[in-house]
Structures are given as C-alpha cells and as structure tokens.
Amino acid sequence: MEILILTGKFGMGHWSASQSLAGQLEAEGHKAVLVDFFDYALPELAPSMYWGFSFLVTHMGGLYNAYHRLTRNVDNEVPMVSLLRCRLGELLGTVRPDVILSTHPVCSCVVSRYKRDEGGRVPLITCITDVTSHSEWIHPGTDCYLVPSPNVRAALMAKGVDPERILVSGIPVKADFGRAARSQEGPRELLIMGGGLGLMPRNNSFYEALNGLEGVHTTILTGKNDRLYRRLAGRYEQIEAVPFTDRVPEYMGRAHLMLSKPGGITTFEAIAARLPMLAWEPFLEQERENARFLVSHGMARVAAMEEEACLAAIRETIYDRELLAGMERAMEKMAAELCRNAACAVVSALEREAVCA
C-alpha cells in the first residue's frame, strides 16, 4: 500500500517520528511518502513559521504554556484551514495514497476537514508524539489513534473517542534503539544530552564537578553546538564531548543513566533502550506531561536546572544500583505494554479489508 505521511518541523520530534514510521512501513513492503506539509502548502511562509515557533518556545514559553493550557479541552480549528485543505487536495491528486498517517495535530485537522467537505474516504491514522491528550489531536475524521501510553488512551476515551480506534504504540523510534546488555564492571557511564539546545550549565565548576565524580565517565552529546564542543573537547579526563552524531543508540546502549530534556522522542528512545533517566526540569507543558509520565511510572527522576541541585540529583542516582535497576524494570514493564509496530498492523488490517471489499 502507499502511505502518505504528513508532518511538520515545529521541533524535530514530529519529523523524527515520521521517519521512524516510514522505516517501519517500508520494512513491511509498503511505500511511504514523507511530506513536510507546511513546506509543501506554504513554501514561502514555512521557514518563518518554524523560526517563529522556535523563538516562541525558547523565549516566550510562558505565553505558549498559557495557550496550551487554555485550549487543552477545547475543540478548535487551525487558522488558514481552508487554504491548507485546498493544498491537501492538490497533494492527494498527485500522490493518491491508500492511507494518510499524520504526526502533527494541524495535519490531522486539515485531513479531517478535507474528508468532511470533500467526502474523502482515505483512512487517517493520527500518531500522537507527546504524552498528552490535548484536544488539538482529536478530530472526527481520524480512523485510528496511535497513542504513547495507556494513560493517554484512557484520557482520549474520557473525551469521547471510541476505544476501538485507539492503539497504545508508544512514540515511534528507530529500530536501532533497543535493550542493551550494559556492563556492570568498570566505571558508571553517564550520558548527557541537550548541549545542542543550550541547556548545559555555563560555569566551568559544573564540568569540574562532573569530572571529579568517582568511578563515573560522562559522555556529553553537544549536537550542533560547536562552541560547547570546542569548550569541552579534550579538557577533562573523565568527560567525552561528542559533536553531532548518528550513533545515539550506541551511546544510550552503554550508558547507565541519561540526563536529558524529556522530549517525546527522547523519552521513548530511553524506554526502548531501558535507560534510566534524569529529566532536566521541564518548562514547556508537553515536556512537563512527558516528565510526569516517566516519574509516575518509576522510570525517571527530575533534575533541577540549577547547577548544585542537578549535581546532587546525579550523585544520588548514578551510584544507587538498586534504584537504577528499578527504573530499568519499570521501563521493561512499560515496553511490554506498547505495540511498536502498531502502524504496520493498522495498515495491514486496512489492506486486508480492501482486498475483501
């Protein structure tokens, strides 16, 4: 079958989930067409929209959070939906998919509106990419919801979504992320992610303290933050600075503890790798929901952004083997509740229905 995957780059989580879904579907013999719908529909505006969103969440997070809370349980339609619907019609005339899969709430809204107005019958699968039941994701034209956790499934049911239309899949991550056999000999391995996002403390005292942790080797993924990489590379004996890399599964596989921003994708990469987490104290509402999910299931603790408190959280966690083992067991339990190939299962079921029709 041919599956059109619609997404947007408002943060890279939606795009990353779409890539993972495309890989899963193509491995099952389907054809996946991945489209940044905002770039397709509004090519001249999309770069400014993405820049504006990044500026908003980085510098005006309080305003963003207020809007997110006010609309959590409110049905709303996105601006310019009529224009976006017309552009979707053009795209469907070109691609002619058997199934549409959306990893962004606006894309789901536009497809739902198109189906209502045009009488379209193409099945719509919506994949929710944060641990949230925000109403922006819920649209009447959706045939199936792929949700991150049983909690989100229950919340969608409470909002009137048919339980038979909801599958608990987790947030899609690449197949490279999986349970690793971590060495219990040698130093404890601490993995820190977030350098590319400007989350890292600026004071040298923080890195000196990390370097001085007895029996701990720290790997810091600096992403595209070349300034941070140059500052750290080769300076500390027990700190390895790594620039932008595609070897994240490998680094997760050897770590005993990860300190990271609790984004949706990172959260489920950690669950797939059974890697206990310290979540940077989140500010954005979606990340708060992700962190609450992790902590409530015993898979993570929250570490304050303040330097001394963060170091204290690291010390209290990384040396406590019983605590880390408990987090791993909690992640194992959660992983057992997820159907990581749910999208493939739904598409295969639709394919069987088409054959029998």
Q: Note the pLDDT tens digit of each residue in 154-189.
A: 999 999 999 999 999 999 998 888 887 788 788 999
CA–CA distance from 155 to each of 113, 132, 160, 162, 310 (Å)?
23, 9, 9, 11, 32
Q: CB within 8 A of 265, min separation 6: which ones?
A: 12, 13, 16, 17, 129, 171, 173
pLDDT tens-digit series, residues 227-236: 889 999 999 9
Q: Is the pLDDT of residue 357 over 50?
A: no
Q: Which helix (H) or strand (E) holds 147?
A: strand 144-147
Domains of the chain: 2-172+340-356 (3.40.50.2000), 188-336 (3.40.50.2000)
Q: CB within 8 A of 56, min separation 6: which ones?
A: 63, 64
Q: What number of other Cβ atoms are within 10 A of residue 126's Cβ?
A: 28
**pLDDT band for position 213 (50/70/90)?**
very high
Return d(Cα 336, Cα 322) in angstroms, integer.
21
With CA atoms as reference, report the closest residue to 259 among 276, 239, 242, 271.
276
Contact between 106 and 8 (Cβ < 8 Å): yes
| pTM tops 0.85, yes or no | yes
pLDDT given at position 55: 87
User: What number is the average pLDDT over the span 333-346?
Assistant: 88
Q: Tokens representing 81?
A: 């939906």
User: What number is the average pLDDT over the span 37-47?
Assistant: 94
Instruction: Write the single-letter amino acid at 330.
Output: A
Contact between 188 and 171 (Cβ < 8 Å): no
Q: Is the pLDDT of residue 139 over 70?
A: yes
Q: Tokens representing 332?
A: 């194992």
Q: DSSP states of 235-249 as a string?
A: T-TTEEEEES-S-HH
